[in-house]
């Protein structure tokens, strides 16, 4: 194991971040608070396995359906979000960027597995 101490550590960490998404989309956590606490989860924990040993990569593969929503959030949502003030600029819109309100709406459409 490289990034996680155990299988239960992986599962607990994923569940914790699932909860942060749910709190944000329900309005219980502001988008800014969400971003601070979520801390680029997918990339921070290298959930693509590039920093993992064989044992951890096998676990990441086993829990891929739990990780996939966070991959979507990282690449398709947080990777495109910009400051709300910039989101109004045509150049940002043309580049596919959007603000926090759109990010939250898109996160509402991400399907999570139990």
DSSP structure string for 39-85: TTHHHHTTTTSTT--HHHHHHHHHTHHHHHHHHHIIIIIITTB--HH
- Domain ranges for the chain, please list them: 7-108
Mean pLDDT of the chain: 96
In terms of pLDDT, which residue wins out, 1 or 99? Answer: 99
Span 40-44, mean pLDDT? 97
């Amino acid at each position: 194991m490289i990034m996680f101490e155990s299988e239960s550590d992986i599962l607990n960490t994923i569940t914790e971040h699932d909860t942060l998404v749910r709190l944000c989309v329900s309005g219980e956590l502001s988008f800014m608070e969400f971003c601070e606490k979520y801390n680029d989860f997918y990339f921070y924990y290298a959930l693509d396995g590039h920093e993992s040993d064989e044992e951890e990569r096998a676990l990441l593969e086993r829990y891929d359906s739990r990780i996939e929503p966070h991959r979507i959030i990282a690449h398709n949502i947080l990777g495109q979000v910009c400051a709300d003030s910039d989101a109004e600029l045509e150049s940002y819109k043309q580049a596919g960027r959007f603000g926090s309100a759109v990010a939250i709406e898109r996160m509402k459409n991400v399907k999570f597995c139990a």
